[in-house]
Amino acid sequence: MPAVGRRWVTLGVLGVAVAAAAPAAMAVAGPADNPSARSASAGDRTQDVRRAIEGGKARNVILFLGDGMGDSEITIARNYARGAAGRLEMDQLPLTGEYTTYAVTKGDPSKPDYVTDSAASGTGWATGHKTYNKAISVDAYGNPQPTILELAKRNGYRTGDVTTAEVQDATPAVLGSHVVDRDCKGPNETTKTCPTNAKENGGAGSIAEQLVQTRPDVLLGGGAAYFDQTVKAGKFQGKTVLDQAKASGYDVVTDGAGLKSARGDKPLLGLFAPNNMDLQWVGPQAVPGGTPAATCLPNTALPASQPKLADMTRKALDVLDRGSRRGDKGFFLQVEGASIDKQDHAANPCGQIGETVGFDDAIAAGMAYAHSHPDTLVLVTADHGHTSQIIPNGTKSPGATATLITHDGAQMTINYATALPGQSQEHTGTEVRLAGYGPQAANVVGITDQTDLFFTMNRALGLR
Protein backbone atom coordinates (compact mmCIF):
# COMPACT_ATOMS: atom_id res chain seq x y z
CA MET A 1 0.00 0.00 0.00
CA PRO A 2 1.52 3.38 -0.93
CA ALA A 3 2.53 5.48 2.06
CA VAL A 4 1.97 8.84 0.34
CA GLY A 5 -0.78 10.91 1.98
CA ARG A 6 -1.30 8.32 4.70
CA ARG A 7 -0.22 7.76 8.28
CA TRP A 8 -0.12 4.63 10.41
CA VAL A 9 -2.20 4.36 13.56
CA THR A 10 -1.69 1.57 16.14
CA LEU A 11 -4.96 0.33 17.57
CA GLY A 12 -4.48 -0.23 21.31
CA VAL A 13 -3.16 -3.55 22.59
CA LEU A 14 -4.06 -5.39 19.39
CA GLY A 15 -0.94 -4.03 17.72
CA VAL A 16 -2.78 -3.80 14.41
CA ALA A 17 -1.59 -1.10 12.03
CA VAL A 18 -4.08 0.44 9.62
CA ALA A 19 -3.69 3.21 7.10
CA ALA A 20 -5.70 6.37 7.57
CA ALA A 21 -5.97 9.25 5.15
CA ALA A 22 -4.19 12.30 6.56
CA PRO A 23 -6.05 15.63 6.59
CA ALA A 24 -5.12 17.61 3.52
CA ALA A 25 -5.10 20.96 5.30
CA MET A 26 -4.81 20.30 9.03
CA ALA A 27 -3.87 23.85 9.90
CA VAL A 28 -4.29 23.40 13.65
CA ALA A 29 -4.12 20.09 15.45
CA GLY A 30 -2.83 20.97 18.91
CA PRO A 31 0.28 19.54 20.59
CA ALA A 32 0.21 16.17 18.79
CA ASP A 33 3.91 15.66 19.55
CA ASN A 34 2.94 14.48 23.05
CA PRO A 35 3.26 10.66 22.86
CA SER A 36 0.83 10.09 25.72
CA ALA A 37 -1.78 12.15 23.89
CA ARG A 38 -1.56 9.82 20.88
CA SER A 39 -1.93 6.61 22.83
CA ALA A 40 -5.25 4.95 23.57
CA SER A 41 -3.63 3.20 26.56
CA ALA A 42 -2.66 5.17 29.64
CA GLY A 43 -0.62 2.27 31.04
CA ASP A 44 -0.73 0.91 34.58
CA ARG A 45 -2.28 3.46 36.93
CA THR A 46 -2.28 1.23 40.00
CA GLN A 47 0.19 3.29 42.04
CA ASP A 48 -1.58 6.58 41.30
CA VAL A 49 -4.93 5.06 42.27
CA ARG A 50 -3.52 3.45 45.44
CA ARG A 51 -1.97 6.74 46.55
CA ALA A 52 -5.25 8.58 45.97
CA ILE A 53 -7.24 5.99 47.91
CA GLU A 54 -4.82 6.18 50.81
CA GLY A 55 -5.73 9.85 50.99
CA GLY A 56 -3.51 11.99 53.14
CA LYS A 57 -3.12 15.73 53.20
CA ALA A 58 -2.27 17.77 50.13
CA ARG A 59 0.17 20.64 50.33
CA ASN A 60 -1.27 22.16 47.15
CA VAL A 61 -4.58 22.00 45.27
CA ILE A 62 -4.89 22.94 41.60
CA LEU A 63 -8.45 23.12 40.26
CA PHE A 64 -8.88 23.26 36.48
CA LEU A 65 -12.37 24.38 35.44
CA GLY A 66 -13.47 24.15 31.80
CA ASP A 67 -16.50 26.43 31.53
CA GLY A 68 -19.27 24.62 29.66
CA MET A 69 -16.97 21.66 29.03
CA GLY A 70 -19.33 18.70 29.13
CA ASP A 71 -18.40 15.22 27.92
CA SER A 72 -19.53 16.16 24.42
CA GLU A 73 -17.20 19.17 24.27
CA ILE A 74 -14.30 16.99 25.45
CA THR A 75 -15.06 14.35 22.81
CA ILE A 76 -15.32 16.94 20.03
CA ALA A 77 -11.93 18.43 20.97
CA ARG A 78 -10.32 15.00 21.29
CA ASN A 79 -11.61 13.82 17.91
CA TYR A 80 -10.46 16.98 16.18
CA ALA A 81 -7.06 17.49 17.80
CA ARG A 82 -5.95 13.93 18.66
CA GLY A 83 -8.25 11.58 16.78
CA ALA A 84 -10.84 9.14 18.10
CA ALA A 85 -8.15 6.81 19.51
CA GLY A 86 -6.06 9.65 20.94
CA ARG A 87 -6.13 11.11 24.40
CA LEU A 88 -6.07 14.63 25.76
CA GLU A 89 -3.99 15.52 28.80
CA MET A 90 -7.17 15.70 30.89
CA ASP A 91 -7.87 12.08 29.90
CA GLN A 92 -4.67 10.96 31.67
CA LEU A 93 -5.88 11.67 35.21
CA PRO A 94 -6.28 8.27 36.84
CA LEU A 95 -9.55 8.70 38.74
CA THR A 96 -12.79 9.99 37.25
CA GLY A 97 -16.41 10.44 38.19
CA GLU A 98 -19.31 12.72 37.35
CA TYR A 99 -21.04 15.37 39.38
CA THR A 100 -24.49 16.90 39.24
CA THR A 101 -24.75 20.62 38.65
CA TYR A 102 -28.31 21.82 39.35
CA ALA A 103 -28.99 25.20 40.94
CA VAL A 104 -31.84 26.05 43.33
CA THR A 105 -34.60 28.63 43.37
CA LYS A 106 -33.95 32.05 44.86
CA GLY A 107 -35.48 32.13 48.34
CA ASP A 108 -36.38 28.41 48.20
CA PRO A 109 -33.34 26.11 48.24
CA SER A 110 -35.60 23.05 48.42
CA LYS A 111 -36.75 23.62 44.82
CA PRO A 112 -34.17 22.70 42.15
CA ASP A 113 -33.44 24.67 39.01
CA TYR A 114 -32.20 21.86 36.78
CA VAL A 115 -30.04 23.95 34.43
CA THR A 116 -27.38 25.97 36.21
CA ASP A 117 -25.36 28.92 35.08
CA SER A 118 -21.67 29.36 35.89
CA ALA A 119 -22.35 31.61 38.87
CA ALA A 120 -24.61 29.19 40.74
CA SER A 121 -22.46 26.18 39.91
CA GLY A 122 -19.29 28.06 40.82
CA THR A 123 -20.82 29.08 44.12
CA GLY A 124 -21.55 25.39 44.75
CA TRP A 125 -17.97 24.16 44.36
CA ALA A 126 -16.45 27.32 45.86
CA THR A 127 -18.58 27.43 49.05
CA GLY A 128 -20.34 24.07 49.41
CA HIS A 129 -23.74 25.80 49.19
CA LYS A 130 -26.36 25.59 46.47
CA THR A 131 -27.70 28.90 45.22
CA TYR A 132 -29.75 30.52 42.47
CA ASN A 133 -28.59 31.34 38.96
CA LYS A 134 -26.57 34.58 38.71
CA ALA A 135 -25.64 34.57 42.42
CA ILE A 136 -21.95 34.94 43.34
CA SER A 137 -20.99 33.13 46.59
CA VAL A 138 -24.17 33.95 48.41
CA ASP A 139 -26.75 31.36 49.43
CA ALA A 140 -30.32 31.14 48.13
CA TYR A 141 -31.30 33.92 50.53
CA GLY A 142 -28.47 36.26 49.52
CA ASN A 143 -26.22 35.63 52.53
CA PRO A 144 -22.45 35.61 51.81
CA GLN A 145 -20.69 32.27 52.28
CA PRO A 146 -16.92 31.83 52.74
CA THR A 147 -15.10 30.43 49.71
CA ILE A 148 -12.37 27.84 49.39
CA LEU A 149 -9.89 30.56 48.34
CA GLU A 150 -10.80 32.79 51.28
CA LEU A 151 -10.50 29.87 53.72
CA ALA A 152 -7.18 28.80 52.22
CA LYS A 153 -5.88 32.33 52.59
CA ARG A 154 -7.05 32.55 56.22
CA ASN A 155 -5.28 29.26 56.93
CA GLY A 156 -1.95 30.53 55.63
CA TYR A 157 -1.98 29.17 52.09
CA ARG A 158 -0.97 31.15 48.99
CA THR A 159 -3.83 31.58 46.53
CA GLY A 160 -4.30 32.12 42.80
CA ASP A 161 -7.20 32.78 40.44
CA VAL A 162 -6.57 32.52 36.67
CA THR A 163 -8.99 32.78 33.70
CA THR A 164 -9.22 33.56 30.00
CA ALA A 165 -12.36 35.62 30.70
CA GLU A 166 -12.68 38.85 32.62
CA VAL A 167 -11.43 38.24 36.15
CA GLN A 168 -14.85 39.55 37.21
CA ASP A 169 -16.63 36.78 35.26
CA ALA A 170 -18.60 34.19 37.21
CA THR A 171 -15.95 31.51 37.81
CA PRO A 172 -13.08 33.71 39.03
CA ALA A 173 -15.57 35.95 40.84
CA VAL A 174 -17.01 33.19 43.06
CA LEU A 175 -13.63 32.71 44.72
CA GLY A 176 -13.16 36.22 46.04
CA SER A 177 -16.42 38.16 46.01
CA HIS A 178 -20.05 38.01 47.20
CA VAL A 179 -22.77 39.77 45.22
CA VAL A 180 -26.42 39.02 44.52
CA ASP A 181 -25.97 39.27 40.72
CA ARG A 182 -23.01 38.24 38.56
CA ASP A 183 -23.37 41.34 36.37
CA CYS A 184 -22.13 43.61 39.19
CA LYS A 185 -18.57 43.54 37.90
CA GLY A 186 -17.58 47.16 38.49
CA PRO A 187 -18.76 50.03 40.71
CA ASN A 188 -21.05 51.43 37.99
CA GLU A 189 -22.93 48.16 37.42
CA THR A 190 -23.17 47.50 41.15
CA THR A 191 -24.85 50.84 41.84
CA LYS A 192 -27.55 49.99 39.27
CA THR A 193 -28.02 46.23 39.73
CA CYS A 194 -26.78 45.32 43.23
CA PRO A 195 -27.45 48.39 45.40
CA THR A 196 -27.20 46.35 48.61
CA ASN A 197 -23.63 45.42 47.62
CA ALA A 198 -22.62 48.93 46.52
CA LYS A 199 -19.91 50.70 48.50
CA GLU A 200 -21.92 53.90 48.80
CA ASN A 201 -24.69 51.90 50.52
CA GLY A 202 -22.37 50.23 53.01
CA GLY A 203 -21.80 47.08 50.98
CA ALA A 204 -18.52 45.37 50.16
CA GLY A 205 -18.50 46.77 46.65
CA SER A 206 -18.39 45.37 43.15
CA ILE A 207 -16.73 42.10 42.12
CA ALA A 208 -13.63 43.99 40.98
CA GLU A 209 -13.34 45.86 44.29
CA GLN A 210 -13.92 42.73 46.36
CA LEU A 211 -11.31 40.73 44.44
CA VAL A 212 -8.75 43.40 45.28
CA GLN A 213 -9.86 43.32 48.91
CA THR A 214 -9.65 39.51 49.05
CA ARG A 215 -6.17 39.90 47.53
CA PRO A 216 -5.26 36.53 46.03
CA ASP A 217 -1.51 36.32 45.48
CA VAL A 218 -2.05 35.81 41.74
CA LEU A 219 -5.00 37.17 39.75
CA LEU A 220 -4.69 36.82 35.96
CA GLY A 221 -7.09 37.28 33.04
CA GLY A 222 -9.03 40.00 31.22
CA GLY A 223 -11.40 42.63 32.59
CA ALA A 224 -9.17 45.72 32.65
CA ALA A 225 -12.19 47.88 31.75
CA TYR A 226 -13.77 47.35 35.17
CA PHE A 227 -10.54 48.29 36.94
CA ASP A 228 -10.75 51.66 35.17
CA GLN A 229 -14.05 52.49 36.89
CA THR A 230 -14.12 54.90 39.82
CA VAL A 231 -14.72 53.78 43.40
CA LYS A 232 -17.79 55.57 44.78
CA ALA A 233 -17.22 55.48 48.55
CA GLY A 234 -14.72 54.60 51.25
CA LYS A 235 -10.98 55.06 51.47
CA PHE A 236 -10.48 55.00 47.69
CA GLN A 237 -13.46 57.16 46.72
CA GLY A 238 -12.72 59.08 43.53
CA LYS A 239 -9.87 56.77 42.57
CA THR A 240 -10.03 53.83 40.19
CA VAL A 241 -10.19 50.18 41.19
CA LEU A 242 -6.75 49.84 39.60
CA ASP A 243 -5.47 52.55 41.96
CA GLN A 244 -6.91 50.53 44.81
CA ALA A 245 -5.12 47.39 43.55
CA LYS A 246 -1.79 49.19 43.34
CA ALA A 247 -2.27 50.64 46.83
CA SER A 248 -2.91 47.08 48.03
CA GLY A 249 0.55 46.12 46.84
CA TYR A 250 -0.24 44.51 43.50
CA ASP A 251 2.40 44.37 40.78
CA VAL A 252 0.28 45.07 37.67
CA VAL A 253 1.23 43.60 34.27
CA THR A 254 -0.62 43.95 30.99
CA ASP A 255 1.11 41.69 28.45
CA GLY A 256 3.05 38.46 28.08
CA ALA A 257 6.42 40.14 28.41
CA GLY A 258 5.38 41.77 31.68
CA LEU A 259 4.04 38.47 32.94
CA LYS A 260 7.26 36.66 32.09
CA SER A 261 9.47 39.26 33.77
CA ALA A 262 7.34 39.74 36.90
CA ARG A 263 9.43 38.78 39.91
CA GLY A 264 6.52 37.50 41.96
CA ASP A 265 7.77 39.00 45.21
CA LYS A 266 4.50 40.97 45.44
CA PRO A 267 0.90 39.97 44.68
CA LEU A 268 0.58 39.74 40.88
CA LEU A 269 -2.34 41.23 38.93
CA GLY A 270 -2.35 40.53 35.19
CA LEU A 271 -4.97 42.31 33.07
CA PHE A 272 -4.42 41.27 29.45
CA ALA A 273 -7.58 42.55 27.74
CA PRO A 274 -10.31 45.14 28.37
CA ASN A 275 -12.84 42.32 28.55
CA ASN A 276 -12.43 38.62 27.67
CA MET A 277 -9.13 37.43 26.24
CA ASP A 278 -8.92 36.55 22.52
CA LEU A 279 -9.61 33.14 20.98
CA GLN A 280 -6.87 30.75 19.87
CA TRP A 281 -8.61 29.34 16.76
CA VAL A 282 -11.13 30.45 14.17
CA GLY A 283 -13.18 28.61 11.57
CA PRO A 284 -16.66 28.20 10.09
CA GLN A 285 -19.66 29.14 12.21
CA ALA A 286 -22.42 26.54 12.41
CA VAL A 287 -25.38 27.45 10.22
CA PRO A 288 -28.73 25.87 9.26
CA GLY A 289 -28.10 23.30 6.54
CA GLY A 290 -24.44 22.91 7.52
CA THR A 291 -21.09 24.01 6.12
CA PRO A 292 -18.56 22.48 3.72
CA ALA A 293 -15.99 20.33 5.51
CA ALA A 294 -13.17 22.56 6.78
CA THR A 295 -10.28 22.77 9.21
CA CYS A 296 -9.62 25.29 11.96
CA LEU A 297 -7.05 28.07 11.61
CA PRO A 298 -4.99 30.10 14.09
CA ASN A 299 -6.62 33.38 15.04
CA THR A 300 -4.47 35.95 13.24
CA ALA A 301 -6.20 38.73 15.20
CA LEU A 302 -4.82 37.33 18.46
CA PRO A 303 -2.36 39.91 19.83
CA ALA A 304 1.15 38.48 19.96
CA SER A 305 1.56 40.16 23.35
CA GLN A 306 -1.33 38.26 24.93
CA PRO A 307 -0.25 35.23 26.99
CA LYS A 308 -1.95 31.88 26.58
CA LEU A 309 -3.65 30.08 29.43
CA ALA A 310 -0.74 27.65 29.75
CA ASP A 311 1.66 30.62 30.10
CA MET A 312 -0.49 32.11 32.86
CA THR A 313 -0.72 28.73 34.58
CA ARG A 314 3.05 28.20 34.59
CA LYS A 315 3.63 31.70 35.94
CA ALA A 316 1.01 31.27 38.65
CA LEU A 317 2.56 27.96 39.71
CA ASP A 318 6.02 29.51 39.79
CA VAL A 319 4.93 32.49 41.89
CA LEU A 320 2.84 30.42 44.29
CA ASP A 321 5.47 27.71 44.65
CA ARG A 322 8.29 30.18 45.37
CA GLY A 323 6.09 32.14 47.74
CA SER A 324 5.18 29.08 49.80
CA ARG A 325 8.49 27.21 49.63
CA ARG A 326 9.78 28.31 53.04
CA GLY A 327 6.57 27.64 54.94
CA ASP A 328 4.64 24.54 55.91
CA LYS A 329 1.61 25.56 53.81
CA GLY A 330 1.39 25.36 50.04
CA PHE A 331 -1.23 26.94 47.78
CA PHE A 332 -4.67 26.80 46.22
CA LEU A 333 -4.92 27.69 42.52
CA GLN A 334 -7.96 27.80 40.23
CA VAL A 335 -7.44 27.91 36.43
CA GLU A 336 -10.42 28.45 34.11
CA GLY A 337 -10.73 27.82 30.40
CA ALA A 338 -13.60 30.27 30.08
CA SER A 339 -14.43 30.59 26.40
CA ILE A 340 -15.27 26.95 25.74
CA ASP A 341 -18.65 28.03 27.06
CA LYS A 342 -18.72 31.36 25.26
CA GLN A 343 -18.03 29.79 21.86
CA ASP A 344 -20.55 27.01 22.51
CA HIS A 345 -23.10 29.81 23.05
CA ALA A 346 -22.00 31.29 19.71
CA ALA A 347 -22.18 27.93 17.83
CA ASN A 348 -18.53 28.42 16.89
CA PRO A 349 -16.92 24.95 16.87
CA CYS A 350 -13.35 26.00 16.02
CA GLY A 351 -13.39 28.68 18.71
CA GLN A 352 -14.77 26.14 21.19
CA ILE A 353 -12.25 23.43 20.25
CA GLY A 354 -9.30 25.81 20.28
CA GLU A 355 -10.17 26.97 23.78
CA THR A 356 -10.53 23.35 24.94
CA VAL A 357 -7.11 22.49 23.51
CA GLY A 358 -5.62 25.61 25.13
CA PHE A 359 -7.21 24.58 28.43
CA ASP A 360 -5.73 21.10 28.00
CA ASP A 361 -2.28 22.65 27.49
CA ALA A 362 -2.73 24.40 30.84
CA ILE A 363 -3.64 21.08 32.45
CA ALA A 364 -0.41 19.64 31.03
CA ALA A 365 1.50 22.42 32.81
CA GLY A 366 -0.31 21.63 36.06
CA MET A 367 0.30 17.91 35.76
CA ALA A 368 4.00 18.49 35.07
CA TYR A 369 4.16 20.39 38.36
CA ALA A 370 2.19 17.70 40.20
CA HIS A 371 4.43 14.89 38.94
CA SER A 372 7.42 16.63 40.54
CA HIS A 373 5.39 17.62 43.64
CA PRO A 374 3.45 14.47 44.61
CA ASP A 375 1.74 16.22 47.53
CA THR A 376 -0.35 18.16 44.97
CA LEU A 377 -4.01 17.37 44.31
CA VAL A 378 -5.06 18.14 40.72
CA LEU A 379 -8.76 18.29 39.86
CA VAL A 380 -10.26 18.79 36.39
CA THR A 381 -13.95 19.48 35.91
CA ALA A 382 -16.59 21.75 34.37
CA ASP A 383 -19.39 23.86 35.78
CA HIS A 384 -22.16 22.65 33.46
CA GLY A 385 -22.86 20.92 30.18
CA HIS A 386 -23.54 22.70 26.92
CA THR A 387 -25.21 22.36 23.57
CA SER A 388 -22.70 20.94 21.06
CA GLN A 389 -23.25 17.36 19.89
CA ILE A 390 -21.58 15.09 17.34
CA ILE A 391 -24.23 13.83 14.91
CA PRO A 392 -24.02 11.56 11.83
CA ASN A 393 -22.65 13.26 8.74
CA GLY A 394 -25.43 14.23 6.36
CA THR A 395 -28.10 14.50 9.06
CA LYS A 396 -30.75 17.12 8.27
CA SER A 397 -30.80 18.83 11.64
CA PRO A 398 -33.31 21.53 12.63
CA GLY A 399 -30.41 23.25 14.36
CA ALA A 400 -27.18 24.79 13.10
CA THR A 401 -24.33 22.49 12.06
CA ALA A 402 -20.73 22.70 10.88
CA THR A 403 -18.49 19.93 9.55
CA LEU A 404 -14.79 19.74 10.37
CA ILE A 405 -11.98 17.51 9.11
CA THR A 406 -10.43 15.86 12.16
CA HIS A 407 -6.96 14.60 13.07
CA ASP A 408 -8.07 11.23 11.65
CA GLY A 409 -8.73 12.76 8.22
CA ALA A 410 -12.43 12.04 8.76
CA GLN A 411 -15.40 14.40 8.72
CA MET A 412 -17.18 15.26 11.97
CA THR A 413 -20.49 17.13 12.02
CA ILE A 414 -21.21 19.24 15.12
CA ASN A 415 -24.76 20.25 15.92
CA TYR A 416 -26.08 23.20 17.96
CA ALA A 417 -29.80 23.04 18.69
CA THR A 418 -30.67 24.29 22.18
CA ALA A 419 -31.86 27.60 20.71
CA LEU A 420 -32.91 28.83 17.29
CA PRO A 421 -30.04 29.34 14.83
CA GLY A 422 -28.53 32.77 15.33
CA GLN A 423 -29.57 32.94 18.99
CA SER A 424 -27.32 32.23 21.96
CA GLN A 425 -27.22 28.47 22.50
CA GLU A 426 -28.19 27.26 25.97
CA HIS A 427 -26.56 25.27 28.75
CA THR A 428 -27.83 21.76 29.50
CA GLY A 429 -28.60 20.14 32.84
CA THR A 430 -26.40 17.07 32.43
CA GLU A 431 -23.86 15.86 34.96
CA VAL A 432 -20.23 16.58 33.98
CA ARG A 433 -16.84 14.94 34.34
CA LEU A 434 -14.72 15.31 37.48
CA ALA A 435 -11.20 13.85 37.35
CA GLY A 436 -8.47 13.77 39.99
CA TYR A 437 -4.81 13.00 40.62
CA GLY A 438 -2.95 13.00 43.92
CA PRO A 439 -3.92 12.99 47.62
CA GLN A 440 -7.69 12.72 48.21
CA ALA A 441 -8.40 12.21 44.48
CA ALA A 442 -10.39 9.07 45.25
CA ASN A 443 -13.20 11.37 46.39
CA VAL A 444 -14.03 12.20 42.76
CA VAL A 445 -15.11 8.63 41.95
CA GLY A 446 -18.78 7.86 41.36
CA ILE A 447 -21.62 10.36 41.16
CA THR A 448 -21.22 13.36 43.45
CA ASP A 449 -22.51 16.93 43.39
CA GLN A 450 -20.59 20.09 42.65
CA THR A 451 -20.96 21.14 46.30
CA ASP A 452 -19.03 18.00 47.32
CA LEU A 453 -15.96 19.34 45.52
CA PHE A 454 -15.69 22.13 48.08
CA PHE A 455 -15.41 19.58 50.89
CA THR A 456 -12.90 17.44 48.97
CA MET A 457 -10.61 20.46 48.55
CA ASN A 458 -11.22 21.58 52.13
CA ARG A 459 -10.28 18.13 53.48
CA ALA A 460 -7.23 17.87 51.25
CA LEU A 461 -5.80 21.13 52.59
CA GLY A 462 -6.99 20.55 56.16
CA LEU A 463 -8.74 23.91 56.36
CA ARG A 464 -10.46 25.15 59.50
Active site (catalytic) residues: 118
Do 322 and 341 touch, CB atoms closer than 8 A? no
d(CA 457, CA 453): 6
d(CA 43, CA 201): 58
Do 113 and 429 touch, CB atoms closer than 8 A? no
Do 120 and 174 touch, CB atoms closer than 8 A? no
Tell me the one-letter amino acid at 373.
Answer: H
Per DSSP bridges, beta strands 95-100 and 432-437 are: antiparallel
- Burial class from Cβ neighbours inside 10 Å (0-12, 13-18, 19+) for residue 263 reads exposed
Return the HEC string of the chain: CCCCCEEEEEEHHHCEEEEEECCCCCCCCCCCCCHHHHCCCCCCCHHHHHHHHHCCCCCEEEEEEECCCCHHHHHHHHHHHCCCCCCCHHHHCCEEEEEECCEEECCEEEEEECCCCHHHHHHHHHHCCCCCCCCECECCCCCECCCHHHHHHHCCCEEEEEEEEECCCHHHHCCCCCECCCCCCCHHHHHHHCHHHCHHHCCCCCHHHHHHHHCCCEEEEECHHHHCCECCCCCCCCCEHHHHHHHCCCEEECCHHHHHHCCCCCCEEEECCCCCCCCCEECCCCEECCCCCECCEECCCCCCCCCCHHHHHHHHHHHHHHHHCCCCCCEEEEEEECHHHHHHHCCCHHHHHHHHHHHHHHHHHHHHHHHHCCCEEEEEEECCECCCEEECCCCCCCCEEEEEECCCCCEEEEEECCCCCCCCCCCECCCEEEEEECCCHHHHCEEEEHHHHHHHHHHHHCCC
